[in-house]
Amino acid sequence: MKHDALIAHLRDVRQHVDGYRASSRQELVEEEARAIAEEAAYERGLEDALVRSSILVEQALAAAASEVQTIRSRWSIECQAMISTQAAAYRAGLEERLSAGVVNALAPFIDEMQRIRIRASFLQFLRKTLPNGFVTEVTISGPASEEEFIVDCLGKVGVRAVYRPSESSEMEATIGDTIINVDFGSWTQRVLTEFVEARNVGS
């Protein structure tokens, strides 16, 4: 009798253990399934975030490039207009104070003063309109006498000037696809010629 009761008890214990093992296996399967699902959701979320970040970066770069291009498109016209206006104002000042003979006698001085004005206007225009953070190097060709001054001035505003000396009186700045050109000789000659012609008409 006791033997039968012991066997029955052991059978109950075994069934209980088997049931516990089955339950544990089921829980492990469910836990593993949840972990897989959570990992997949995390990966999808990460992928979506990367896609959105990439789109935002592309939009920001496109907007910045568009702004830079807009600024560059105005450089050449604005620079020439500024220099032309200043040259005309300088000529008007000369007409008020000097005669044609004095202009011819002071031609070297006028040439140097006009060169200083054109150079200053050219540099002022570049410093004012170069977009910060986008342009750090400018290629310039021009008279060798201008190299040290131009390179030093642009260097002070964080722009590296690659200067190529030439025997021409022209100075040309290349920034990407934009070319800005000024001619020291032609501007000075224009001042002298127009001044003399104006004096001849008035005499």
Tell me the C-alpha distance between 124 and 140, whole Å. Answer: 15
Give the Cα separation of 94 and 54 in Å (integer).
60
What is the token pair recorded at 78? 């604005």
Buried b (16+ CB within 10 A) or exposed e, 122-156: bbebbeebbeeeebeebebbbbeebbeebbebbee
**What residues contact 118, with CB distance under 8 A and at least 6 apart?**
83, 86, 87, 182, 184, 187
- Residue 167 pLDDT > 80: yes
Domain extent listing, the chain: 75-202
Q: Model pTM? A: 0.39
Higher pLDDT, 165 or 41: 165
pLDDT at 75 over 70: no
Q: For residue range 124-158, what is the model confidence (pLDDT) as tens digits? A: 777 776 666 556 678 888 888 888 888 888 887 77
Mean pLDDT along residues 182-201: 60
Name the strand (E) or helix (H) holding 6.
Answer: helix 2-97
How far apart CA 194 and CA 100 sit, in angstroms, is 10
Over residues 59-73, the pLDDT tens digits come to: 766 766 676 666 666
Q: What is the mean pLDDT of residues 13-42?
A: 60
CA pair distance 40, 38, nearest whole angstrom: 5
